[in-house]
Amino acid sequence: MQPVYMYHGVGDGAELTDTDRVYAVSRARFEAHLRAIGRSIALARQLYENRAISAPAITFDDGHITNYTNALPALVEAGMTAEFYINTADVGRPGFVDWAKLGEMAQVGMSIQSHGDHHVFFADLDLDRLHAELERSKKTIEDHIGQAVTVLAPPGGRYDQRTIDTARTLGYRTLAVSRPGLWKHLDQPTVPRFPVYAHTSAETVASYRSAWSPDTMRAILRYRAARFGQRMLGNGGYDALRNRMVGAISGRAS
Ligand SMILES: [Zn+2]
């Protein structure tokens, strides 16, 4: 059993204009997290090679430019690897990584996987559009990077059974979701992840290794409370309320 961490941007201030700042950690904090995590593996590679889950996994959603400018050098310095879920339609747009940078990241051992073609909630799409999002992003990454794309991270953590079924049909092995919990075995339809926020400490990151630590229990309870709010208000109402509560100016969900 190992934790999987969900990061977004890494850095401070100006670089993060297009980012939900709630999720962005500073470079110094990220480096402290890496020291606390110690060793990491990439989900997709473990799945592809059918290897046992032997260490925590570090993942990034959205393909922010700071994944390249800040996270990558910190990872290389620490001798660690991570997995990056990108929206293929956003690659090369201002504030996002481009194919040359993603190629460099893959060259030094990083895994590049799918966050869909566009940053849309899969559960809201009709089946044709859902199929197109999953198929196009997988093929585009495989064509550009040359790594097998076997992991799909649904934007906003929003997915349904059709998403799981369609992903399986297209050759994805699992979905990396935003539900806190530990990764237990290689054939899970979904892999839980612990969201990392701007304020998440290195101690909390370390304590997610244990299923029964107070931080782990708190993360699971917080998630359940948020899910309850989502069900009561619907996606749109929940997002509006959440954005007001966190003071987020960006409408972009994580
Ligand atoms: Zn996202």
Predicted local confidence at residue 16, as pLDDT: 65
- What CATH code would you report for 2-246? 3.20.20.370
Predicted local confidence at residue 250, as pLDDT: 44
Predicted local confidence at residue 253, as pLDDT: 47
Distance 20 CA to ligand 1 centre (A): 9
Predicted local confidence at residue 51, as pLDDT: 85
Predicted local confidence at residue 246, as pLDDT: 59
Write down the pTM of the prediction. 0.89
Predicted local confidence at residue 157, as pLDDT: 87
Predicted local confidence at residue 247, as pLDDT: 54
Distance 106 CA to ligand 1 centre (A): 20
Distance 127 CA to ligand 1 centre (A): 20
Predicted local confidence at residue 20, as pLDDT: 67
Distance 149 CA to ligand 1 centre (A): 17
Predicted local confidence at residue 48, as pLDDT: 84
Residue 195: closest CA among 222, 213, 235: 222
Distance 31 CA to ligand 1 centre (A): 22
Distance CA 3, CA 1 (A): 7
Distance 103 CA to ligand 1 centre (A): 20
Predicted local confidence at residue 248, as pLDDT: 47
Could you say which residues of the chain have pLDDT below 50?
Answer: 248-254
- Structure tokens belonging to residue 222: 């917080």
Predicted local confidence at residue 243, as pLDDT: 67
Distance 33 CA to ligand 1 centre (A): 21
- pLDDT tens digits, residue range 173-232? 999 999 999 999 888 999 999 999 999 999 999 999 998 999 999 999 988 888 887 777
